[in-house]
Structure 1
Amino acid sequence: MGKLQGKVAVITGATQGIGLATAKLFASEGAYVFITGRRHKELDEAVASIGSNVTGVQGDASNLADLDRLYESVKARGRIDILFTNAGLGGSLPLGSITEEHYDQIFNTNVRGLLFTVQKALPLLNDGASIILTGAAAGSKGTPNFGVASATKAAIRSFARTWTVELKDRHIRTNVLSPGPVLTASLKAAMPAEAFGRIVSTVPMGRMAEPEEIAKVALFLGSDDSSFVTGIELFADGGRAQV
């Protein structure tokens, strides 16, 4: 029997990378998984790759009407045991060049979208549920040009502390999962080869993570293995933000 047998999980931003790897792992461990993505084609492909015990709901995590549609779909299945708010945006601009558009786009998805993803889920969350918020090592380590994205991850860390206290009477656990650099398909396509070396040089373990490695940490936080773990930020960053 899998570690998530009979549980219902919702994972936003799950058409690729960490989200998709986690959805596959959760489904293989017995969960029924709802995944979201903004683009129909990628969402359909993700659902097909997971295979069974999955429903895809097209939507943008920063759009409140899309969140309502997501939870209407979930309601038809039951209640939520695990909520993994994985949808997020990055982007780099140095101080002095930051635009309103850059700021609004990243904060709307990473902070506003995450907040309402959790708030709108509250009526469907089972007592004892697990909320996993996606942070980043960059939220704790100064990284040139990433000030806005890093600030959103610091805000997420603050949410986890507050919600741990606010939801304690329902025994709902809230934790932050903060990866370091992760070798996703989109990163490979977007980044020149020389940039990989610069990033890897900042990681004590000397490499980037694979999405499946981060998914295993999400499984720990979503399962009963972490039944006495709440309010923490769990780094899976190869030591990048630790030294």
Structure 2
Amino acid sequence: MDTSMGQLDEKVALVTGGSTGIGLAIARRFAAEGATVYLTGRRKATLDAAVQVVGERGIGIQSDVSNLDDLDRLFATIEERRGRLDVVVANAGFAEIARLGEITEEHYDKTFDINVKGAIFTVQKALPLMPDGASVIVLSSTNASMGIEGMTTYGATKAANRNFARTWAAELAGRGIRVNALSPGPIETPGIRGLSAQGDRQLADSLAAMLPLGRIGRPEEVAAAAVFLASDQSSFTTGAELFVDGGLNQV
């Protein structure tokens, strides 16, 4: 019998956008560290497959973070089943390339509704379930502090996400709730492949050439950083931004 202790034993966590990519890697690692993990996604088949990957500690709830009724149902379910959330990871996100002159209202609304509105109301609606000392992780990006061609709206949303961590860290300090931003660089995910018109590795390979480490990252490397921010190992860290970017924004 395995009696080893995980870094998140007995904790209850929520990972939005947990059905693929970075979110799935975080949910899987949290479960491996002993947490019960609720993960959300918009597509039921993809979410069901993700739950199988996460294992018996994973619970999937189909939900769109930009839909407030969906969020109400999500948190009502968690409250009924577990009554609390020790860790909230606002990860759900959307990106597509649109250069200035090509930006449509539909593109703007979708990007801001998922990345900004979704993050705000995920955390706000989670607050009643969060005990003192809980941890919030907001996914930002290296795009928040760089000018990347074609990423006007995405970069703006991720800059907002970074500021949320600062503001909420100040607002929730009295309860000992820590709020931090996690900012990945280029990571090997379906999302980054989807940004390429060909859907292939062309974009990923060109990004790898920009990085001091000479390669793009793996979702598991971001998940390892998320465990640090979720666990007591980061008990004196709040309002911070942790880069997992291969040195892209650092060197």
TM-score by length of 1: 0.97
Residue aligning to 1:149: 154
The letter of the residue matching 2:217 is: A
Q: CA deviation at 1:187?
A: 3.5
CA distance in 1, matches of 2:70, 2:247: 36
Residue in 1 aligned with 2:93?
88
Which runs of structure 2 are paired with 1:204-223 in the superposition (5 Å)?
204-223=212-231
Which of 10, 29, 35 matches 2:33? 29
The alpha carbon displacement at 1:238 in A equals 0.6
Q: How far did 1:204 drift? A: 1.2
Partner of 1:180: 185
Q: What is the CA RMSD across the aligned residues, in angstroms?
A: 1.1
SS at match of 1:126: coil
3-state SS of paired residue (1:176): strand
Q: Aligned pair count? A: 243
- The offset of 1:199, in angstroms, is 1.0
Cα offset, 1:90, TM superposition: 0.7
Instruction: Please tell me the residue identity of whatever aligns with 2:226.
Output: A
The verdict on how the C-alpha distance between 1:185 and 1:107 changes in structure 2, with shifts beyond 3 A counting, is closer
Instruction: Give structure 1 regions of 4+ aligned residues with deviation exceeding 2 angstroms.
Output: 185-197
Which region of structure 1 is more displaced relative to structure 2, 128-137 or 92-101?
Answer: 92-101
Deviations 1:147-206 (A, max 9, x none): 110000111111111111110110000000000000014544653333232211221111
Distance (Å, rounded) in 2 between the aligned partners of 1:106 and 1:161: 21
The answer on 1:101 being equivalent to 2:109 is: no
Residue-by-residue CA offset, 1:70-128 (whole Å, 9 max, x unaligned): 10111121201000011000111111111111111100000011100000001001110
Give the TM-score of the pair, scaled to structure 2: 0.94
1:63 aligns with 2:67: yes
Secondary structure in 2 aligned to 1:71? helix
Give the gaps of 5 or more residues in structure 1: none
Please, which of 19, 44, 49 is the counterpart of residue 15 of structure 1?
19
Whether 1:237 aligns to 2:237 is no
Partner of 1:125: 130
1:162 corresponds to: 167
Q: Is the 8 A contact 2:188 2:204 kept in 1?
A: no
Q: Which amino acid aligns with 1:47?
A: V
Match of 1:3, as an amino acid?
Answer: Q
- How many angstroms apart in 2 are the aligned matches of 1:194 and 1:60? 30
Equivalent residue of 1:178, what SS?
strand
2:133 alignment partner, SS class: strand
**Structure 2 counterpart of 1:205, which letter?**
L
Name the residue aligned to 2:201. Answer: 193
**Hey, what's the Cα distance between the residues in 2 that align with 1:31 and 1:193?**
34
Q: Are the equivalent residues in 1 in contact too, given 2:13–2:85 (CA < 8 A)?
A: yes
Separation of aligned partners in 2, 1:34 and 1:220: 19
SS of the equivalent of 2:86 reads strand
Equivalent residue of 1:162, what SS? Answer: helix
Q: Residues of 2 paired with 1:9 and 1:211: CA distance? A: 18
Which amino acid is the alignment partner of residue 223 of structure 1? S
Cα deviations by residue, 1:205-227 (Å, 9 ceiling, x for unpaired): 11011101100000000000000
* 1:50 equivalent in alignment to 2:58: no
